Structure formats: structure tokens, C-alpha cells
A = this chain, B = another copy of it.
């Protein structure tokens, strides 16, 4: 066996950086190959296709991101935890120059329309899985907060609502690029969820 001339993980990082900045459809394997100092054919040999390469790169990102979220949601009052959650979310959307937006949201909207369209379906599941796991983290945080008397609504509904707002923030980020606005919306969402009538 001949050993590979490039580092698998390096390529994954380089590829995801491009996917994040330009989207999957907007990134060519030639771009990635040039950036990684690898021949295009080698990428096909190692990963199979652009979509498969993206999936691997995305899973990497998703794992890292979940860990960071878990950390943000792990300390302080419920309000502090939710604030840290939105902070991390928005900071993530606004990272890079120019800001790269949310890769999950972009990926979801880049999907083809057909129901079972090859790897599209696999990608959809990867995106949906991250969103679900984030929702679960938020719900757990709210449930814990409820046990401590900091929240008295429905944790599942509230978590879904909060995650829906973060997806909306990802979209508004692309529309206006106004980070202060995003933070205002986030603060308002926290108020709505925590100051609910009867709370």
C-alpha cells in the first residue's frame, strides 16, 4: 500500500473553511485541491464526491460546535445560560471576514427539492440531527431551570421556540449583516421566554 501524501484532517478543515465561506454549491473541488495542495483526483479517490467530502467536514464541525454549546449552557442562572447560548450562536454566525453566516442553515437551504435525492438526503439528516441535538440541549437546560424555579413554561415548546429563533437569526444575518440587531432580537427572545405570564 502506498501511503497518502496529505493529511485527511487537514483537508477536512480546509474544505469546511471553503464550504462555510462560499457554500457547497459555490465551492469547487478545484478550489479545495488548490488550497490543500492536493490533486483534484486524489480528493475523489479519498472521499468519493464533493457531497461526501462535505459531509465528513460538516460532522467534524458539528461535533466541535455541540461541545462549545454544551459548555456555554453549563453555568450560571438560566438567564445567563440562555444569554451565553445566543452569544455563542451569533458570534459563530459573525465569525470570519466577511462573516460566514450559519453553515447549517445555508446547507439546509442549499438542498435539492427532490425527496430522496442521493446524498442530499444524507446531508439533510446531518443538518437536522445537529438542530435536534441543539434543541435537546436547550430543553435540558430549561428543564433544569424549571426544577430550580427559574422557569415555569413548557421546556419542549420553549426550546423549540428558541432554536427556531436562532435559525431566524441566521437568515436575518444574511439579509442585514447587522450584529447589534441580532443581539437585540436574542435578548427580546430571552425576555419573552423567561417573563412569560405567570412566570
Residues of A within 8 A of B (CB): 21-23, 25-26, 98, 100-101, 105-106, 108-115, 124, 127-128, 131, 157, 160-161, 163-172, 174-176, 181, 184-185, 188-189, 192-193, 195-199
Given A109-B109, A124-B175, A196-B197, 20 additional A-B pairs, CB 8 A: A23-B110, A26-B113, A98-B113, A101-B109, A105-B171, A108-B174, A108-B175, A109-B174, A111-B174, A124-B174, A131-B175, A157-B188, A161-B192, A164-B169, A166-B168, A168-B169, A170-B171, A192-B192, A196-B196, A197-B199
Chain B residues with CB under 8 A of A128: 175-176
Interface centre among A21, A100, A167 (most CB of B within 10 A): A167
Whether A113 lies near B21 (C-beta < 8 A) is yes
6 nearest A-B pairs in the assembled complex, by CB-CB distance: A164-B168, A168-B168, A167-B168, A167-B171, A109-B109, A128-B175
- Give CA–CA (A115, B98) in the complex, Å: 7
What's the minimum C-beta distance from A11 to chain B, rounded to whole angstroms? Answer: 20
Whether A164 lies near B185 (C-beta < 8 A) is yes
Whether A108 lies near B171 (C-beta < 8 A) is yes
Chain B residues with CB under 8 A of A124: 174-175
What's the minimum C-beta distance from A50 to chain B, rounded to whole angstroms? Answer: 13
* In the complex with contacts A164-B185, A175-B131, A110-B110 CB distance below 8 A: yes
- Give CA–CA (A51, B97) in the complex, Å: 25
- Give CA–CA (A189, B23) in the complex, Å: 31
